[in-house]
């Protein structure tokens, strides 16, 4: 059950996270500066006063805070800051040096930013498919989003970086302590097996624009 204390504490935490006082949060949201004052939370008769839905909504909009993050503030969970965009580069460019660090995180010039719904993984990135070599799974112009932090299971589509610098889009067929079995996502559906030592990193596709 949602309590009076929880909702007010969440607003206090929202203000602090935005580097504001509660009065500053109210002003930023276009509200009366005293809207969130302590004196407004309990009436003179001792009755609990709750913030209005409008005041909460305007505060979230003013600070760019998604509702699911506000729920974290209510529940006292650790705050996970959601990203609202991800870096993007063409899949054909991904094999060129300088676009990823040793962990497979995007670095260096050449990346564009694209708007994307809130994503928890701070290292998430997007690749744009060009051409028809990956049809019918992915058409020309498809954008895929990958999360280095996401767990990978059999059947997942993944991007794999090998020791010889290739960056490949495949489906994971099987993984053991010694080898990784992959299948192409095009018409041919060819399979290949790589020694684990030859795979630098492997990231799961978590979203596609199709």
CATH homologous superfamily of 83-208 equals: Umud Fragment, subunit A (2.10.109.10)
Class level of CATH domain 4-74 = mainly alpha
Query: Could you write out the three-class secondary structure of the chain?
Result: CCCHHHHHHHHHHHHHHCCCCHHHHHHHCCCCCCCCCHHHCECCCCCECCCCHHHHHHHHHHHCCCHHHHHHHHCCCCCCCCEEEEEEEEHHHCCCCCCECCCCCECCCCCEEEEEEEECCCCCEEEECCCCCCCECCCCCCEEEEECCCCCCCCCEEEEEECCCCEEEEEEEEECCCEEEEEECECCCCEEEEEHHHEEEEEEEEEECC
Q: Does 108 or 143 have the greater pLDDT score?
A: 143
- The two domains 4-74 and 83-208 share their CATH topology (first three levels equal): no
Residue 58: which pLDDT band, with cuts at 50, 70 and 90?
A: very high
**What does the pLDDT read at residue 81?**
53
Residue 15: which pLDDT band, with cuts at 50, 70 and 90?
A: confident
Residue 80: which pLDDT band, with cuts at 50, 70 and 90?
A: low
**What does the pLDDT read at residue 103?**
84
pLDDT one-digit tens code per residue, 38-55: 999 999 899 999 999 999
pLDDT one-digit tens code per residue, 185-202: 998 889 999 999 999 999
pLDDT at 86 over 70: yes
Domain layout of the chain by residue ranges: 4-74, 83-208
Q: What is the pTM of this model?
A: 0.61
Query: Quick one: average pLDDT of 155-182?
Result: 93
**What does the pLDDT read at residue 169?**
96
């Amino acid at each position: 059950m949602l309590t009076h204390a929880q909702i007010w504490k969440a607003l206090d935490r929202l203000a602090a996270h935005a580097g504001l006082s509660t009065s500053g949060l109210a002003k930023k949201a276009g509200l009366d500066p005293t809207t969130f004052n302590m004196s407004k939370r309990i009436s003179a008769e001792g009755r609990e006063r709750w913030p209005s839905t409008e005041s909460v909504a305007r505060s979230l909009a003013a600070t760019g805070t998604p509702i699911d993050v506000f729920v974290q503030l209510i529940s006292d969970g650790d705050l996970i800051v959601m990203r609202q965009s991800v870096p993007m580069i063409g899949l054909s460019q991904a094999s060129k040096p300088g676009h990823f660090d040793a962990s497979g995180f995007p670095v260096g010039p050449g990346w564009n930013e694209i708007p994307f719904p809130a994503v928890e993984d701070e290292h998430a990135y997007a690749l744009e498919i060009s051409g028809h070599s990956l049809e019918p799974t992915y058409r020309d112009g498809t954008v895929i989003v990958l999360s280095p932090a996401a767990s990978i299971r059999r059947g997942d589509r993944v991007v794999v970086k090998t020791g010889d610098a290739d960056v490949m889009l495949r489906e994971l067929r099987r993984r053991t302590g010694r080898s990784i079995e992959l299948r192409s996502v095009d018409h041919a559906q060819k399979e290949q097996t790589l020694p684990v030592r030859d795979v630098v990193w492997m990231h799961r596709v978590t979203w596609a624009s199709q």
